[in-house]
C-alpha cells in the first residue's frame, strides 16, 4: 500500500493544458501555457502560416468596418444635413435603433443656412438649378461659372450664387466647383439625364423649380433665378426696375416693359419677396393642373392676363433683350449686354458649341481699346449650331477681329 505522502503527491499532479486549436474556429486564440521552456515540454511555437492567417483575418475585418463607415458617411453627406445632425444621421444608418432617440433631418433648416450664407446684405440671392447632364467637366456649368469670372464686374456675384442640385452627381460636382450648394431631390423622377424640351421629365423639372422658388420667397429672400446656360457679362442689378415685384427676360421684346404681349422666358427673372409675389407663385404653380402638359413659361403666358394678377397687385416688368439677350433675339450692342441666354437651342452639343463661341466673342470685345468698343465693330457670331433657319440673322456683320476657336484657360 502506498504511503500517505506519495498519495498526496499524486493528487497534486497537474497535466499541461492542451495546445490544440478548436476545429470550429481555426483562428481562435490559444489557451495560455505555463511559463516553461517549449523544448523541454515537447511543444513547438505556432507555425508561421497560422500567424499569417490570423493577421489576414483581422485585417479583413478592420477593412470591412472602415468601408461600411465610409459608405454611410458619403450617403448621408448627400442629404445636405446640417453639421449638427451629421453624427446622428450616421448613427441612424449604422444602428437603426438610434432613430427613436434622434430628431429627424430638417432640409428646410439647411436651406435657410445655405441661403443665409450666400445672401447679400439686402437678403438677395442668385439661384440656378443643375442636373448631372449639365454638371460634367467641361460642360454647361463650367462655362456658366467662367462667364462670371470673365464678365465686367461680375466676379463678386459668385459669392451670392446658390446652385440647386437635382441629383446626387450634380450635388457632388457642385461641391467640387462652388461653395454654396443645396440638394433638391425629387423621388418620383430621375433628373440625371438631359431633360429634352417638353418631355415628361422636362415638365416635372420645370414645375419642381417653380414650387421651390415659392419656398425661397416664403423664407423672405429676393432672388435672381438664372438658367445655367445663361452667360453673365455685366451686373444685371443696375438694369432692374426698382418698383417691380416680378421681372422676367424675354424671347422677344416688343419695346415696352409693361406690355403683357411681350414673349417671356422663364429662364431668367428677378423677384422680390412679399405677399404679392408669394401669392403669384402659388397661383402659377397651381395653374399647371389647369393647363396640363404645358411648361411654366407657356402657363405664365396664359395667366399673365388673369384678373387675379391685378387683384393681388403684382407689378410685372419685362426685361429688354438689349440688356438681357438670347439666341432667340440676341442683344445687338456688346456695350450694353448683361446676360446672354442659349435659348431657342436644341441638343447639348449645339448648346455647348454656341456658348463657347459666345465667350470667345466676349473676350474679343473686352480686348478692344475703348474707342473701338464704342464703335461696336464686333458683334455676336451666334446663333450657329443652335440656330433654326428662321432665326438666323443674315444681316449681322461678321466680326472684324479674328477670334481663336480654342478656349483659353
Kindly write down the DSSP assignment for every residue of 212-231, as one continuous string: HHHHHHHTT-EEEEE-TTEE
**pLDDT, tens digit (0-9, with 9 covering 90-100), for 310-366:** 999 999 999 999 999 999 999 989 999 999 999 999 889 999 999 999 999 999 999
Kindly provide the residue ranges of all beta strands, DSSP E only, lying in 161-308, ordered along the sequence. Answer: 161-165, 181-183, 222-226, 230-232, 246-252, 263-271
C-alpha cell at 394: 443674315
C-alpha cell at 72: 454611410
Instruction: Assess if CATH 3.30.70.3040 describes domain 106-387.
Output: no
What is the pLDDT at residue 62? 73
What is the pLDDT at residue 361? 96
pTM: 0.69
Residues 257/193, Cβ–Cβ less than 8 Å = no
What is the pLDDT at residue 61? 72
**pLDDT, tens digit (0-9, with 9 covering 90-100), for 113-163:** 999 999 999 999 999 999 998 999 999 999 999 999 999 999 999 999 999
C-alpha cell at 45: 511555437
CA distance 208 to 325: 25
What is the pLDDT at residue 213? 97
Low-confidence ranges of the chain (pLDDT < 50): 1-2, 4-42, 72-104, 190-198, 390-409
Domain edges within the chain: 106-387
Taking the CA atoms of the chain, what radius of gyration do you get in angstroms?
33
What is the pLDDT at residue 407? 46
What is the pLDDT at residue 188? 53
Q: Would you say the C-alpha torsion 80, 83, 85, 90 has a positive or negative sign?
A: positive
User: Which ranges constitute the DSSP H helices of 159-274?
Assistant: 168-177, 200-218
| Cα dihedral: 29, 33, 38, 42 (round 10) | -90
What is the pLDDT at residue 230? 98
What is the pLDDT at residue 20? 43
Amino acid at each position: 500500500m502506498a504511503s500517505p505522502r506519495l498519495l498526496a503527491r499524486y493528487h497534486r499532479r497537474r497535466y499541461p493544458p492542451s495546445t490544440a486549436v478548436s476545429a470550429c474556429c481555426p483562428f481562435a486564440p490559444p489557451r495560455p501555457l505555463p511559463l516553461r521552456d517549449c523544448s523541454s515540454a515537447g511543444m513547438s511555437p505556432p507555425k508561421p502560416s497560422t500567424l499569417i492567417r490570423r493577421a489576414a483575418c483581422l485585417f479583413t475585418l478592420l477593412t470591412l468596418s472602415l468601408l461600411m463607415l465610409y459608405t454611410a458617411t458619403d450617403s448621408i453627406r448627400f442629404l445636405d444635413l446640417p453639421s449638427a445632425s451629421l453624427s446622428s444621421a450616421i448613427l441612424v444608418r449604422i444602428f437603426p435603433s438610434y432613430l427613436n432617440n434622434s430628431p429627424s433631418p430638417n432640409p428646410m433648416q439647411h436651406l435657410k443656412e445655405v441661403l443665409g450664407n450666400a445672401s447679400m446684405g439686402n437678403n438677395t440671392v442668385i439661384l440656378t438649378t443643375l442636373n448631372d447632364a449639365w454638371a460634367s467637366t467641361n460642360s454647361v456649368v463650367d462655362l456658366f461659372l467662367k462667364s462670371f469670372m470673365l464678365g465686367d464686374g461680375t466676379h463678386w456675384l459668385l459669392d451670392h450664387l446658390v446652385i440647386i442640385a437635382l441629383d446626387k452627381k450634380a450635388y457632388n460636382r457642385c461641391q467640387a466647383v462652388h461653395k454654396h450648394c443645396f440638394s433638391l431631390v425629387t423621388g418620383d423622377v430621375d433628373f440625371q439625364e438631359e431633360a429634352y424640351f417638353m418631355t415628361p421629365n422636362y415638365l416635372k423639372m420645370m414645375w419642381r423649380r417653380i414650387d421651390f422658388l415659392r419656398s425661397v420667397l416664403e423664407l423672405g429672400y429676393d432672388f435672381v433665378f438664372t438658367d445655367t446656360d445663361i452667360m453673365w457679362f455685366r451686373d444685371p442689378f443696375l438694369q432692374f426696375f426698382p418698383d417691380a415685384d416680378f421681372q422676367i427676360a424675354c424671347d422677344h421684346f416688343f419695346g415696352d416693359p409693361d406690355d403683357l404681349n411681350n414673349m417671356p422666358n422663364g429662364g431668367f427673372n428677378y423677384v422680390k419677396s412679399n405677399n404679392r409675389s408669394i401669392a403669384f407663385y402659388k397661383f402659377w404653380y397651381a395653374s399647371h393642373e389647369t393647363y396640363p402638359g404645358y411648361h411654366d413659361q407657356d402657363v405664365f403666358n396664359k395667366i399673365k392676363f388673369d384678373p387675379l394678377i391685378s387683384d393681388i397687385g403684382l407689378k410685372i416688368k419685362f426685361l429688354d433683350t438689349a440688356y438681357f439677350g438670347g439666341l432667340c433675339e440676341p442683344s445687338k450692342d456688346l456695350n450694353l449686354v448683361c446676360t446672354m441666354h442659349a435659348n431657342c437651342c436644341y441638343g447639348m452639343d449645339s448648346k455647348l458649341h454656341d456658348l463657347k463661341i459666345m465667350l470667345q466673342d466676349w473676350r474679343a470685345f473686352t480686348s478692344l481699346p475703348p474707342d473701338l468698343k464704342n464703335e461696336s465693330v464686333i458683334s455676336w457670331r451666334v446663333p450657329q449650331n443652335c440656330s433654326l433657319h428662321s432665326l438666323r440673322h443674315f444681316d449681322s456683320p461678321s466680326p472684324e477681329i479674328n477670334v481663336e476657336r480654342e478656349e483659353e484657360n
